[in-house]
C-alpha cells in the first residue's frame, strides 16, 4: 500500500496543503486503528456477531468521511450541474458501493477497501498538488522579477512610485539590492547586474554609463541612474510576465487529446462497470455480490487520474525546466512542436553574430577624400539606429550636424538615400547602386560592403565586419549532435560574407543578399523539403514575418526587437544560440516522459481492468491501478523539471 508523502515535504507545502495532509494523516491513523481492532478480534469481543460487522461499518465511515467528504461534495455538485463523469464521481460511486456491500451478508465485507480507496485517492491528489506546486516553482520564481516600485528624485529626495507612473525619459535611481524596474540607459554610475532570473546565467554582467539595462535584473553593487526608454507595460519584465501567464492557455495536441479522451473514456467505463455488475447475474452467470464487486473494482481501476494529471504536469514541468535556462516557451504546443524540429534556419546578424559592426576599411575612389566620403555616409545614416549605421557614425570623428540633412529615406534591404548640403548621397549595397544606375567596384575584403555615391558618381565603399558569437559554432555542432538534419542561414549580406560565416560555423546551407520578403520565400521553399518541423531563429523587426511562418519561431530576447519577441513562440533571454539545442533537448525529454506515462498508465489499467472483469483483481489491486499508477506517473512527470546547464 502507498504511504503518505515524506514528512519533510511538509516544509515546502502551502497552508492549504499542510491542512490537507493533517486531515489525511488523521484519517490514516483512525483507519489503521480500526483495521487493527477488526483484525485482532477486539470488535467481535465487544459487540459479538453480527454486531462487530456493523461496528466496523460505522468506524470505517469516520476516516472515510474525514478524508473524502470534499470528494463526495464535488461529485454531488458536478452531478447537479450535469457534469457527472469525472474522477470524483468514479471514486464516490466505487467507495459508496464498497460500503453498500454490507447489505449482502453472503459476501465478504468491503468497508476497509472502500475507506482505503478514498484515503489513498486523497494521498494521490495531495501528491499531485505538491508536484504541480513544485513544477510551478521555477516559473513562479520568474513572477518575482516584477518590481514593486521605482525610485524617482523629487525635490532632492528619492520617492518610491508605482512603475506604471514612470514616463519615457524619466530618470530613475536603482540602489544596490533593488531590481531594475524599467528598461533604460545608464546615465550615471557603474555596477554589476544579476541577470540569473532572466537568463539563467549565474555570472553577473557589468553596467556602465551608456549601457542598456533591462528590467528584472538585480543591481548588485553601485548606485545607477537610468533614463527610461520604455513604459513599464512595454518593458522586458512585463513582456516576460505576460508570456508566463499565457503559457498554460496554449495546450499541446497530446494534451488536448488526453482531455478529449478523458471526456469520452469516463462515461464509457462507468457504463461498462454498470454492465459488469448487472448483466451477468441477470443471465444467471453468478451471484449479485460477486459481480457488483467486480463492477466496483473495475470502476476504481478505470479512473483516468494518471493520464489527466501526468500529461499536463509533464508539459508544465518542461516549460518550468526551460525557464531555468533562460528559455521562455509560450505554451506546451510549442514545446511539442520543438521536439519534432529537424531543420533550423538562422538569421545572421544579431543571431549568429554579435550585431556589433566595426568599420575595418575605407576605400575611396581617386580624387575623393576618404574623410569626406565617411562624413557624407555618417550624415546620411544620422537618423538610423541600425547596427551598420551606428558603426559608421562611431567611425566618424567629427560632429554630425543633422541640420545639414535635408531628407533621408531608407530603401528596404538596400540602403539609404539622402540629401546633404544639397547633394544627393546614396549609401548601401550593390542593389542600391544598380537601382540608381551607378557603377561600383567590388572589394576583396570579407565583410559588409557599403557603397557610397555622391550626385550620381561612385565615391567609394566602406567595409564593415561583424563578429561571430562565441558560442555560435558550438550551437551548430550541438544541433547536429541533437539530430537536427539541416542548419541553414539566411542573410541580406553579401555572398562572400555569408560564405565565410557559413564555413566557419559548419552550416549545411546559406542564402545571401535576401530582402525581408525573400526570407519568407526561402522559408516556404525549405518547408517543402523538411521532413519534420522547421524552426526559425531571428532577432530583428524584419524577422517577425518569418518567425510567424515557421513551425517554431525562436527570438533572441535580451536584445531582440519587440516585434520579433511578440511574433516568436520561444524566446531566448540571454541571446545565446547554444540554448537552441538545450531547448530542443528539454522538449524531446518532455515528450519522451509524456509518451512513457501514456503507455504505462494505459497498459497497467487495461491489464487490471481485464483482471477485474474476470474476477481476479480485488479492490486492493484496484487501489494500485488507480493511485499507484498516478503517483508513479507524477514522479516520472516531475523529471521534466530537471535540466542541465551544460
Nearest alpha carbon to residue 180 among 212, 141, 135:
212
Comparing CA positions, the residue from 200, 188, 75, 233 lying closest to residue 579 is 200
User: Does an H or E element contain 334, and which?
Assistant: helix 332-339
Assigned C-alpha cell, 476: 551548430
CA-to-CA distance for 604 and 627, rounded, in angstroms? 12
Q: How far apart are CA 183 and CA 150, in angstroms?
A: 12
| C-beta of residue 370 within 8 angstroms of C-beta of residue 621 | no
Q: How far apart are CA 296 and CA 58, in angstroms?
A: 20
Please give the Cα distance from 43 to 49 (Å, whole number).
Answer: 9
Q: Are 413 and 492 in contact (CB under 8 A)?
A: yes
- Cα atoms found within 13 Å of the Cα of residue 638, Cβ hemisphere only: 16
The set of catalytic residues is 347
175's grid cell: 540602489
Report the DSSP pairing between strands 552-556 and 570-572.
Answer: parallel
With helix as H, strand as E and coil as C, how does 43-101 read? HHHHHCCCHHHHHHHHHHHHHHHHHHHHHHHHHHHHHHCCCCCCHHHHHHHHHHHHHHH
* Separation CA 343–CA 506 (nearest Å): 14
All 3 cell numbers of residue 623? 487501489
Farthest-apart Cα atoms in the chain, separation: 121
Is the distance from CB of 98 to CB of 61 less than 8 angstroms?
Answer: no
Amino acid at each position: 500500500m502507498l504511504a503518505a508523502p515524506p514528512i519533510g515535504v511538509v516544509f515546502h507545502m502551502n497552508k492549504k496543503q499542510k491542512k490537507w495532509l493533517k486531515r489525511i494523516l488523521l484519517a490514516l491513523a483512525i483507519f489503521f486503528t480500526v483495521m487493527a481492532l477488526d483484525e485482532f478480534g477486539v470488535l467481535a469481543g465487544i459487540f459479538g456477531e453480527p454486531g462487530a460487522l456493523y461496528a466496523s461499518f460505522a468506524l470505517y465511515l469516520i476516516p472515510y468521511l474525514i478524508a473524502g467528504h470534499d470528494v463526495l461534495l464535488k461529485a454531488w455538485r458536478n452531478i447537479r450541474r450535469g457534469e457527472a463523469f469525472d474522477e470524483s464521481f468514479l471514486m464516490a460511486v466505487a467507495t459508496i458501493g464498497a460500503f453498500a456491500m454490507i447489505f449482502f451478508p453472503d459476501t465478504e465485507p468491503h468497508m476497509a477497501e472502500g475507506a482505503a480507496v478514498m484515503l489513498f485517492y486523497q494521498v494521490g491528489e495531495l501528491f499531485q498538488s505538491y508536484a504541480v506546486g513544485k513544477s510551478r516553482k521555477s516559473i513562479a520564481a520568474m513572477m518575482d522579477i516584477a518590481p514593486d516600485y521605482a525610485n524617482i528624485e523629487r525635490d532632492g529626495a528619492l520617492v518610491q512610485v508605482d512603475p506604471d507612473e514612470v514616463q519615457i525619459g524619466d530618470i530613475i535611481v536603482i540602489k544596490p539590492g533593488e531590481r531594475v524596474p524599467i528598461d533604460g540607459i545608464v546615465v550615471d554610475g557603474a555596477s554589476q547586474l544579476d541577470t540569473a532570473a532572466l537568463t539563467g546565467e549565474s555570472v553577473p554582467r557589468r553596467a556602465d554609463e551608456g549601457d542598456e539595462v533591462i528590467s528584472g535584473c538585480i543591481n548588485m553593487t553601485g548606485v545607477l541612474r537610468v533614463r527610461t526608454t520604455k513604459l513599464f507595460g512595454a518593458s522586458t519584465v512585463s513582456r516576460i510576465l505576460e508570456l508566463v501567464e499565457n503559457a498554460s492557455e496554449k495546450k499541446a495536441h497530446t494534451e488536448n487529446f488526453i482531455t478529449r479522451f478523458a471526456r469520452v473514456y469516463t462515461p464509457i467505463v462507468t457504463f461498462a462497470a454498470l454492465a459488469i455488475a448487472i448483466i451477468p447475474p441477470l443471465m444467471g452467470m453468478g451471484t449479485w455480490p460477486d459481480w457488483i464487486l467486480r463492477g466496483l473494482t473495475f470502476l476504481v481501476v478505470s479512473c483516468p487520474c494518471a493520464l489527466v494529471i501526468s500529461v499536463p504536469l509533464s508539459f508544465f514541468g518542461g516549460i518550468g525546466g526551460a525557464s531555468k535556462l533562460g528559455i521562455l516557451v509560450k505554451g506546451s504546443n510549442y514545446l511539442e512542436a520543438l521536439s519534432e524540429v529537424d531543420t533550423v534556419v538562422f538569421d545572421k546578424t544579431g543571431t549568429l553574430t554579435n550585431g556589433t559592426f566595426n568599420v575595418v576599411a575605407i576605400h575611396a575612389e581617386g580624387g575623393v577624400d576618404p574623410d569626406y566620403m565617411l562624413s557624407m555616409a555618417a550624415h546620411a545614416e544620422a537618423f538610423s539606429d541600425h547596427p551598420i549605421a551606428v558603426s559608421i557614425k562611431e567611425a566618424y570623428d567629427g560632429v554630425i550636424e543633422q541640420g545639414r540633412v535635408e531628407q533621408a529615406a531608407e530603401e528596404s534591404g538596400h540602403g539609404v538615400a539622402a540629401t546633404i548640403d544639397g547633394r544627393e548621397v546614396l549609401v548601401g549595397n550593390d542593389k542600391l547602386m544598380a537601382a540608381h544606375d551607378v557603377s561600383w567596384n567590388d572589394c576583396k575584403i570579407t565583410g559588409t560592403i557599403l557603397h557610397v555615391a555622391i550626385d550620381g558618381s561612385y565615391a567609394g565603399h566602406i567595409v564593415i565586419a561583424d563578429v561571430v558569437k562565441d558560442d555560435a559554432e558550438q550551437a551548430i555542432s550541438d544541433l547536429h549532435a541533437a539530430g537536427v538534419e539541416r542548419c541553414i542561414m539566411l542573410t541580406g549580406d553579401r555572398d562572400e560574407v555569408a560564405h565565410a560565416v557559413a564555413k566557419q560555423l559548419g552550416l549545411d546551407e546559406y542564402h545571401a543578399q535576401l530582402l525581408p520578403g525573400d526570407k519568407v520565400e526561402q522559408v516556404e521553399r525549405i518547408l517543402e523539403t523538411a521532413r519534420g518541423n522547421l524552426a526559425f531563429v531571428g532577432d530583428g523587426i524584419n524577422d517577425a514575418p518569418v518567425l510567424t511562418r515557421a513551425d517554431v519561431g525562436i527570438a533572441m530576447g535580451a536584445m531582440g526587437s519587440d516585434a520579433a519577441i511578440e511574433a516568436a513562440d520561444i524566446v531566448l533571454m540571454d541571446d545565446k544560440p547554444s540554448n537552441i539545442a538545450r531547448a530542443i533537448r528539454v522538449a524531446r525529454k518532455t515528450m519522451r516522459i509524456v509518451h512513457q506515462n501514456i503507455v504505462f498508465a494505459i497498459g497497467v489499467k487495461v491489464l487490471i481492468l481485464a483482471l477485474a472483469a474476470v474476477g481476479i483483481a480485488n479492490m486492493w489491486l484496484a487501489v494500485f491501478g488507480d493511485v499507484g499508477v498516478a503517483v508513479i506517473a507524477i514522479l516520472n512527470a516531475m523529471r521534466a523539471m530537471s535540466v542541465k546547464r551544460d
